[in-house]
Amino acid sequence: MTTALAAVMLTACGGSEAGDSGTTFTIVQYENPTSAQGQGWQKALEIFRAKHPDVTVEFQQTSFDAFRQNAKITLSGNDVPDVVEFNKGNADGGQLAAQGLLEPLTEQAGKLGWDQKVTGSMAAFAKYDEEGRAGSGEWYGVPNIGEYVMFYYNKAKFQQAGITKLPTTLAEFEAAMDKLKAAGELPISSSANTSQGFNQMWIWYSLVSANASRQQIDDFMFVRNPVDFHSGPWRQGTEKFQDWIDKGYVGSKLGGLSFEQATVNFLSGKAAMLIWNNGEFARIRKDAKFDWGYFTLPGAGLSMGSSGHLWGVPAKADNKDLAYDWINTTLSPEVQNVIGQQGGLPLAGDTSKITDRTTREFTQRFDQLVKADTLSFYPDYPVPGFLDFIQNHMQAMSNRNEKASGYLDALQKFYESGSGR
């Protein structure tokens, strides 16, 4: 176990004493407590504890990487959590489901109405077949929120560089970044650390998605029809990504930076833009000392985004009924609307009740993307080990140790091997 997850499990096993009923209910999750989702879950805890006063609730904090890397060990042990947050996709959630480590939730999804709140593309990665492939089969997880990726930008830096209106095409966007560079500004704050340096991967996949069709993305994501990574949007997007690196749009020495450092660099004024999703919306709104805005990649046919991470119930959990009630609580109007007010894109919230105009418009943009079915998901979902593989190559390309052609060769081989194609 990594240190982070070990600490979580030690706390879970040796923490506070059980309540009057002798029941301790353990939740393991990795959302930032200051995020919209983290704040919503604090509301869920308040409701859940009031409903179950005789239960001791252990709400444990870990990290995305720690749980993803140790999920099989954690869920196959003798002392497992009662409900866990896990990463969606064939590479992670699908493997856990196929190996029998997660409890099927189809019955509860129907009985408790989760399948009426989480529908369409937002439900695609909640279901997995016997081989662990998403899109069909039993429900094994339940998302609370949606996600979409955008560019947060510093309005003053844009104005000072002579950018008077937001770009609407990719060519206009590149022209704007040229103006920023000429003004001495770093256009995009990014990161390429192999541990949580996700920004470069998101830039790459956003550029792929920009020229991809719904079928091309679905063939790749759900392993339906063969994918040729040396043609079409894959080649175009990857070559464009290399071009952006070569032109200095994303900076240099990214191999040692994490997404947290990329965010801090943006907030401290060291770059004009940050690529991220709604996970940092509440933080930027609170911490930015400048006027800011956001936009999705200009001219893109599809935008990177998906449902959020999933709540799941370990097959060996002791308190499954409580786990179902916890998931149900996180989908309640009270919790969903707290998440919505903070810009968290709730799947079962009421957008019209969001009082802050910026947050409401932010959520309406997500609603538009979902309705139009133009979200391209995240690139690491289809095959086991894909996230680590992509991250390693993102770092290599960012350090200029690998070209687009070499990455595409490796991508073709890894995807075909992992997907059985």
Instruction: Note the pLDDT tens digit of each residue in 37-90.
Output: 999 999 999 999 999 999 999 999 999 989 999 999 999 999 999 999 999 999
CA distances from 96 to 6, 136, 137, 173 (A): 20, 15, 14, 41
* 127-128/138-139 β-pairing: antiparallel
Q: Cα separations (Å) of 270 from 182, 254, 255?
A: 15, 14, 17
Question: What domains, with CATH codes, occur in the chain?
Answer: 3-145+308-349 (3.40.190.10), 147-305+377-419 (3.40.190.10)
DSSP summary character for residue 94: I
**pLDDT tens digit sequence for 336-393:** 999 999 999 999 999 999 999 999 999 999 999 999 999 999 999 999 999 999 999 9
Cα dist from 209 to 189, 226, 279, 371, 421, whole Å = 20, 17, 20, 17, 22
pLDDT, residue 35, reads 87
Over residues 105-111, the mean pLDDT reads 98
User: Mean pLDDT in the chain?
Assistant: 93
Q: Which two tokens stand for residue 338?
A: 């707290």
pLDDT at 144 over 80: yes
Residue from 82, 84, 28 nearest 55 by CA: 82
For residue 169, give Cα distances in angstroms to 41, 239, 240, 355, 372: 38, 18, 14, 31, 19
Q: Which residues contact 272 (CB under 8 A, 6 or more apart)?
A: 153, 154, 157, 158, 161, 180, 185, 186, 187, 188
Tens digits of residue pLDDT in 285-327 = 999 999 999 999 999 999 999 999 999 999 999 999 999 999 9
Average pLDDT over residues 94-120: 96
Residues 257, 394: Cα–Cα separation, whole Å: 12
26 secondary structure, DSSP code: E
CA dihedral 62, 119, 222, 364 (to 10 degrees): -80
Tokens in use for 7? 């600490």
